[in-house]
Amino acid sequence: MPFGTDPEVIGEVLQRDGGMVLTGALTPEEVAAANAEIEPQIGAFRIGSFAADVNGVTQREETDETLEQYPGMRTRHMQHVVLRSKTIRERFIARKELGEYVAKLTPATPGTHTLFASNVIEIHPGEIAQTLHRDGGEMFRDAGMENANTPAYLTNTLLALSESTEEMGATRILLGSHLWEDFNDWGAPEDTIAVELKPGDVFIYSAKVIHGGGANVTKDKVRRLVANAFSYPWMIGEEAWPFVADLEEVKTYPVEIQNMLKFRSISYMGEEPGFMWRKDQRPLQEFLNL
């Protein structure tokens, strides 16, 4: 369905399937602008898995050969896209419709969700398929939220800045797995389908849908998506936005983005200004002169 479709219609599909493609979220000109903003910055981020740097992740002494067996060795991540690309910030993340769609899975006032993470994910030729997973699994399992009966603690969006075909490592998913009775069942790779995207399309899904990046079996085609994940307004995210984003720059951002990065007081029941995250009982935005 096209980006811009009535949120009620989108909401029904999201509830049923757990994820769907919205076409044309960015125009071709906006895709070109976003790529032009990202291109000069992404070279500073190396291709490879952080498992290579963190002993505790793999639980064993790694050599170059053993590390080859891990998904991620031919994947490149670039964090903080919201701070790096004006086009993605203003033409995608701040969009009213996007907030309305996200709220269908993660209930909150549109435009106030926490931006949980904002990353480029490039899957390069030769990469193997990611392990199938649910995003944020362990964290939310401990809180009793990882089952079919709760709303999605995280709603993720994968925005295509290149083509994403099955051969290039399109994301693979198990539709409907957000409603499975047994969340210890991780499904089988052969039951997944590939979510193919054209530049400017976005795949929006509940983090409770089992999924994973696919294998890139092409010789020379890089698959580039931007993952922007949203959670409840009061949830802490992966990135420490108030410490890493520049206040003077954030003052120039749309109010929705200021909310998402926690530069404004946080509303938990639609109250404005939000009651939480204050300074001497006054809204944070007053203290920060936003």
Ligand X SMILES: O=C(O)CCC(=O)C(=O)O
Listing DSSP states for 203-249 in one string gives EEEETTS-EE------SS--EEEEEEEEE-TT---SS-HHHHS-HHH
Minimum separation from the CB atom of position 69 to Fe ion (A): 19
Residues 203-232 within binding reach of ligand X (CB under 6 A): 211-213, 225
Residues 124-143 within binding reach of ligand X (CB under 6 A): 135
Question: Is residue 135 close enough to count as binding Fe ion by CB under 5 A?
Answer: yes
Minimum separation from the CB atom of position 8 to ligand X (A): 27
Question: Is residue 19 close enough to count as binding ligand X by CB under 6 A?
Answer: no
How far is the CA of 35 from the CAs of 32, 41, 88, 202, in angstroms?
5, 10, 10, 15
Token digits of residue 72: 């991620």
Residue with Cβ nearer Fe ion (103 or 132): 132
Binding partner of 71, given ligand X, Fe ion, none, CB within 5-8 angstroms per partner class: none
Residues 22-51 within binding reach of ligand X (CB under 6 A): none
Residue with Cβ nearer Fe ion (132 or 266): 132
Binding partner of 121, given ligand X, Fe ion, none, CB within 5-8 angstroms per partner class: ligand X
Minimum separation from the CB atom of position 246 to ligand X (A): 27
Angle at 81 between CA 210 and CA 279, to 5 degrees: 100
Residue with Cβ nearer ligand X (195 or 250): 195
Minimum separation from the CB atom of position 139 to ligand X (A): 13
- 22-30, 63-71, 120-128, 133-141 -> range binding Fe ion (CB under 5 A): 133-141
Minimum separation from the CB atom of position 130 to Fe ion (A): 7
Listing DSSP states for 13-51 in one string gives HHHHHSEEEEB-SS-HHHHHHHHHHHHHHHTTS-BS-GG
Residue with Cβ nearer ligand X (200 or 212): 212
Minimum separation from the CB atom of position 226 to Fe ion (A): 14
116 burial level (CB within 10 Å; 0-12, 13-18, 19+) = buried
Q: What are phi and psi of 131, to 5 degrees?
A: -65, 135
Residue with Cβ nearer Fe ion (158 or 284): 158
Binding partner of 171, given Fe ion, ligand X, none, CB within 5-8 angstroms per partner class: ligand X
Edge-to-edge strands, sheet with 172-173: 193-194, 172-173, 211-212
Q: CA–CA separation, 6 vs 73, rounded Å?
A: 40
Give the H/E segment covering residue 120: strand 114-123
- Show Cβ contacts of residue 279 under 8 Å, excluding neighbours closer than 6 positions: 286, 287
Q: What are phi and psi of 120, to 5 degrees?
A: -80, 135
Question: Is residue 171 close enough to count as binding ligand X by CB under 6 A?
Answer: yes
- Looking at residue 89, the DSSP 8-state letter turns out to be I
- 13-21, 54-62, 128-136, 146-154 -> range binding Fe ion (CB under 5 A): 128-136
Site residues for ligand X per CB under 6 A: 121, 135, 171, 211-213, 225
Site residues for Fe ion per CB under 5 A: 135
